[in-house]
Amino acid sequence: MLPPASVLTWQKGSTRLEKYWDYKYNEDPSDEPLDYYTDRLAFLLKQAVERRMKGKHKFGVSLSGGLDSRLVLSSISKKNYPISTITFMFKNMDHTPDITQELGKIFGTNHLELEIPVDFLITNAEKAVFLTDGLLNLQNFHSIGILDEISASADVLLDGWECETNFKGKYLFPRWINAKTDGELTKLLYKAIAITTEDERKQLFSTEWCTRVKGLAFQSVQKEVKKSKNKLYGNKGTEVIFRNIERTYLNRTFVYRRSRYIDRKPFLDNDLIDFALTIPIETRYKQQVYNALAKKIVPSEAQIPDNHHKIFTNSILKIIHRLKNRFLTSKGSYPPYGEWIKTNSKLKQYIKNVLLDEKTLSRPYFDPKYIKQMVEEHLNQKKDHSKLIFTLLTFELWHRLFIDERLHLRIHPESQIQIGVEEIEEPISLVHK
């Protein structure tokens, strides 16, 4: 219940709350060359990986087609072998398996590929919302259906998550860096985070709730910007994203994965983070230090660049595909849920069963006419509403699980975790009854 990185002390009837660490960049001018940061990061990353290879476990690495997981794999000492590399994939969607198979051979790992069906959420959505209290959008549960297969190959799984924020410079957008005031940065952050526009929110919410929630989300972002002790606006923006989006994603994925295996993330090592906070913006900008680190520690034969023919060809196909389905496929969406909702009959029916259900439409928060209109616009290829659709789906399942009165007398069918004090002979189906 405490704020992050804090200690609560009770003494002689009084309490004291102290913060022992903060996400604050060292913003003093530095004359250190790029090699200095690259060498130090290489050492700290290898140290971070080594720290997470302790114990008598079956170790594995979640291997994607990108460089982040390759950095982790390259930092594992051969004395820790044999290890497994595990890749999840969506059939006929990209060339990731081609790349990871090649990487598995180069690194000499036991490589495993696990296919995730397009309609995996139908059987896992309710469980996902239950395990994470509804705090993680259903678009982020790619691995929930393959946890047993992963745990059969690895007790401990390492991945390349979260180097993007801390030293890759993912959120160092020029407009954020050049912001002049907290107010300007707040507007930029809010625009980047918001799922809907102001006009869409007026249509989505009922009259009462539109008044009640008006301005609250913007005020929340405003509060987080003011809370930051960083002075440079590029760092302020990065901190707000990390604290409120990346960290939430991290915490909630831990929750559902840890029931099957130990999830370890070298890029969140204490020493590595502390050093990353000393890297100047100009060194992080446009992945300068990240690219230099990759060249330094990833074997030359494993440095398949972003313009590798397989990736390039796949990118062209994706662009063509997106132009043909421009109203359905969100830019950068992975996987393309917007398209699947329309093309996969089972997933399409599932979305309709939940969002167009009488129970959902009778909620006091939203205008049922707009929900119907939104779903129809998406299914008829008039507009991409995939982000809002999955946000509302997450909210509705959460409401049924934790708010609706009858669910206080329920045993969750997948986990057999009892909710409330009374048992019933047959679990209540949330969606189909």
165 and 290 co-located in one domain: yes
pLDDT of 340 reads: 85
- pLDDT of 200 above 70: yes
Taking the C-alpha atoms of residue 32 and residue 214, their distance in angstroms, rounded to an integer, is 47
Based on the fold, state whether residues 272 and 331 are members of the same structural domain.
no
pTM more than 0.75: yes
The pLDDT-based confidence of 193 (bands split at 50, 70, 90) is: very high
Last residue of a domain, one of 253, 286, 311: 311
Q: Which of 231, 238, 225 is nearest to 276 (CA)?
A: 238
Task: Give the confidence band of 140 by pLDDT, cuts at 50, 70, 90.
Answer: confident
Q: In angstroms, rounded to a whole number, what is the distance separating the alpha carbons of residues 276 and 294? A: 15
Residues 49 and 120 in one domain: yes
Task: Kindly report the CATH number assigned to the domain that includes residue 87.
Answer: 3.40.50.620
Distance of CA 189 to the CA centre of its chain: 17
Domain for residue 316, yes or no? no
Find the Cα–Cα–Cα–Cα dihedral 140, 284, 172, 185, rounded to 10°: 120
According to DSSP, the β-strands at 84-89 and 6-11 are unpaired
User: Is residue 118 scored above 70 in pLDDT?
Assistant: yes
**What is the per-residue pLDDT across 400-416, written as a single tens digit (0 to 9) for each?**
999 985 555 444 444 44
Q: How many domains does the chain contain in total? A: 2
Residue 319 scores a pLDDT above 90: no
Domain presence at residue 276:
yes
Mean pLDDT across 284-307:
86
Sign (positive or negative) of CA dihedral 129, 358, 379, 342: positive
Are 305 and 338 members of one domain? no
Among the three residues 311, 337, 366, which one is the final residue of a domain in this structure?
A: 311
Q: Do strands 59-62 and 156-158 pair parallel, antiparallel, or not at all (unpaired)? A: parallel
Identify whether residues 253 and 276 lie together within a single domain: yes
Pick the closest to residue 261 from 249, 269, 253 (CA basis): 253
- Considering the domain architecture, whether residues 333 and 248 belong to the same structural domain is answered as no
Q: Which of 19-23, 92-96, 335-339 has the highest mean pLDDT?
A: 19-23
Domain co-membership, 300 together with 346: no
Q: Is pLDDT above 70 for 220?
A: yes
- Average pLDDT of span 185-204: 94
Domain that holds residue 78: 34-169+235-311
The answer on 351 and 272 residing in a single domain is no
CB 26 within 8 Å of CB 230? no
What does pLDDT average to over the chain? 86
The answer for residues whose C-beta is within 8 angstroms of residue 42's C-beta and 6 or more apart is 293, 296, 297
pLDDT score of 1? 80
Side chain identity at 40, as an amino acid letter? R
47-81 pLDDT tens trace: 999 999 998 999 999 998 889 999 999 999 999 99
